Structure 1
Amino acid sequence: MTLALEIASAVGWGLVVAGVGGALTRLDSWYDGLKRPKLQPPDWAFGPAWTVILALAATSALLAWRNAPDDAARMLVVALFGVNGALNILWNLLFFTRKRPDHALVEVVFLWLSILAAVVTFRTFSPVSSWLLAPYLVWVGFASYLNLEIVRLNGPFGARADKTIPRV
């Protein structure tokens, strides 16, 4: 694979994750009505934060791919980033589209673990790649706290909760 194709693949991964995740993010009246934790950054900050994080992750993927010792390790890089991208998108689907922060809270554990798996895996053959994922790991950890607080402040969620528990 040529360097140009490797770069295009890494950038493409970041653009797909950002684009699909962004398309699933609906800041509508439901979201505006949620009680949010005091530590939550303003809504405008999430776009720039995710742009930096996904750019670093795409760079990490490129470096991990290029430094992987063999084809099996390169396929592991692809698999880890594929799973991570799918989990990242799934969180947006659960939280914003399905309006189920409680389900997103369960899912975010797997998203965080997918990042940790990449960090641990890559450190043996690409320490820089591993470190480039540190902001992603920290951000998703912080997002997990925000998700937990939103569930705590607003739950329960779902059709049964909407029908049986009056909202004040």
Structure 2
Amino acid sequence: MEETRRGTGLIKPAIVAVLICEGAGLIGSFFTRAGLNGWFQTLNKPSFNPPGWVFGPVWTVLYALMGIAAAMIWQHRDTDPEARPALRLFGVQLGLNVLWSAAFFGARSPFAALINIVALWIAVVATTLRFSRISGRAAGLMLPYLAWTTFATVLNAAIWRLNR
């Protein structure tokens, strides 16, 4: 019964959390758009660099999954003492996510972005582990984001190496 009540009460927090995550993506996209034309085109990129059209749909889905995961943890905020610290950590990683776009595209610095994305990767791992202690499902929803962040870290490192 408790799980059913929690599930039905998840819709509103999930919508809010997804909108917050998608909003972070929107903020990051302002930096991305500014640096995408011109500067980014001049960079040497590795053979595994995905085509540009892939990033929008991937990030849209990832932000939605992240928002649902955060809402699932939010449901435990009054009953699990680990929920609030986990949500604060989620906020930290979301902020680092936006800062990556500002560092890479806004500041046009693959090196600064690399430092940022390593911190982001650590924060995503820590968030996923914290979430796993509260909800296995929420942690599972973070795994695609962790996988993409791992790939993005390797891609960022390769771009930095090819252009230093």
Shorter chain as denominator, the TM-score bin is 0.7 to 0.9
| Distance in structure 2 (CA, Å) of the matches to 1:35 and 1:94 | 18
1:116-131 mapped onto 2 (5 Å cutoff)? 116-131=125-140
1:19-168 mapped onto 2 (5 Å cutoff)? 19-25=26-32, 26-68=35-77, 70=79, 72-155=81-164
Structure 1: unaligned runs, 5 residues or longer = 156-168
| Distance in structure 1 (CA, Å) of the matches to 2:86 and 2:19 | 15
Contact 2:80 2:134 survives alignment (8 Å): no
1:17 alignment counterpart: 24
TM-score (norm 2): 0.87
1:103-153, Cα deviation, whole Å (9 max, x unpaired): 110110110111111111111220000011111001011001110110111
TM superposition shift of 1:4: 5.6
* Between 86-95 and 117-126, the greater mean CA deviation after superposition: 117-126
Q: What SS class does the counterpart of residue 38 from structure 1 fall into?
A: coil
TM superposition shift of 1:62: 0.8
Contact 1:94 1:101 survives alignment (8 Å): yes
Q: What SS class does the counterpart of residue 113 from structure 2 fall into?
A: helix
Contact 1:80 1:114 survives alignment (8 Å): yes
Greater per-residue helix proportion: 2
CA RMSD of aligned residues (A): 1.6
* One-letter amino acid of the counterpart of residue 120, structure 1: L
Aligned length: 154
Contact 1:68 1:125 survives alignment (8 Å): no
Q: What SS class does the counterpart of residue 87 from structure 2 fall into?
A: helix
1:32-82, Cα deviation, whole Å (9 max, x unpaired): 000101001101100011011111111110111113563643322331221
| Distance in structure 2 (CA, Å) of the matches to 1:136 and 1:4 | 21
Decide whether aligned partners of structure 1 residues 125 and 68 sit closer, same or farther in structure 2, where only a CA change above 3 A counts. farther
Residue identity over aligned pairs, in percent, reads: 36
